[in-house]
Amino acid sequence: MSRDFDDDPYDRERGGWWDWKPAKAIFEHLWRTGTLAVSDPRGYRKVYDLAERSIRLHAAPPMDRDAFVDWACSTALERLGVATPAELAAFYRVVDVADARAWVRSRLQAGAVFPVEVEGRIAIAHSDVRRRLGRLGEPLQERVRFLAPLDPLVRDRARAERLFGFHYRFEAFVPEAKRVYGYYVLPILVGDRLVGRTDAKFDRAADVLRLRVMPWEQGFSVTPALRAAFEAAADRLRQFVGAARVDVTGKAGSRHPFRPPTR
């Protein structure tokens, strides 16, 4: 573990998650580049070892660079449906934008993809995109879902904002005084729209899941059916985290966001 190197001559008083000492930075680099593996995680601490001692390696010929770029871009497009070269590169973050642009040019020439315009920006889609869209069916407009911060729909923050007009930032790593919405904010998906946010906290001492609902996105109004769908979604999340009950309030914590204030 990195703490086994506490005699590091550069050791000093540190603060924050990313203020690493040199030994920790070296371990993380070797882990991310495949030389080391995490062999025995203990809570939030990593125990590193050589990859060949930790992972059963299978003999396989090295992949050609062009084949690797083709795999990364084609599988990203399969999952995104419509994407720009930058969005293809951002999906796995294993190829750069220049590689993605070159791949797009070659696939356009081959007729495997074609250009489409989405929200004023040129992107690409598979040549059979209409057939693919036809298989999806209509979204369930009365279904409410809370999205995890790294859900594929919002993981690329710039893409989510471009497609949905929804600005989202995960603020757990933002100093508390600078947070706009909260520590663990979940986007709210209704049908095919991102309509709001809720700051979720499992109060283990009280065995309560607390949800603070932020103001809804402009133009969205809550119907009686949506109220019931939201409460059902809140109860599903309560069951998932194992809380005994759920408490829903507005941003200020003063009242339930769906009910008028008591007189």
Structure confidence by residue, pLDDT tens digits, 184-230: 999 999 988 999 999 999 999 999 999 999 989 988 888 888 889 99
pTM: 0.72
Measured in whole angstroms, how far is the alpha carbon of residue 70 from the centre of its chain? 24
| Per-residue pLDDT tens over the stretch 53-80 | 888 766 667 779 999 999 999 999 998 9
| Per-residue pLDDT tens over the stretch 77-124 | 998 989 999 999 999 999 999 999 999 999 999 999 999 888 778 899
Q: What is the pLDDT of residue 231?
A: 92
Residue 48 has pLDDT above 60, yes or no: yes
What is the average pLDDT value for the chain, to the nearest integer? 85
Q: How open is the CA angle 3-47-35, to the nearest 5 degrees?
A: 110
| Closest CA relative to residue 70, chosen from 92, 99, 91, 98 | 99
Q: What sign results for the dihedral spanned by CA atoms 245, 248, 253, 258?
A: negative
Residue 102 is encoded by which pair of tokens? Answer: 């070159």
Q: What is the pLDDT of residue 42?
A: 74
Residue 134 has pLDDT above 60, yes or no: yes
Q: What is the mean pLDDT of residues 163-185?
A: 91
Q: What is the pLDDT of residue 263?
A: 36
Give dist(CA 53, CA 170) in Å, integer: 36
- pLDDT: is 252 or 230 the higher one? 230
| Per-residue pLDDT tens over the stretch 6-34 | 655 555 565 556 678 888 889 999 998 88
In the chain, the amino acid numbered 64 is: D
E strands, the chain, in order: 36-38, 48-50, 82-83, 113-118, 121-126, 144-146, 185-190, 193-203, 208-213, 245-250
Give dist(CA 171, CA 168) in Å, integer: 9
Q: What is the pLDDT of residue 254?
A: 46
Sole residue written with tokens 């009365």: 142
Give dist(CA 247, CA 211) in Å, integer: 6
Residue 62 is encoded by which pair of tokens? Answer: 């090295």
Residue 261 has pLDDT above 60, yes or no: no
CB atoms within 10 A of CB 79: 10
- Which residues, 6+ apart, have CB-to-CB distance to 214 below 8 Å? 181, 185, 196, 197, 198, 199, 251
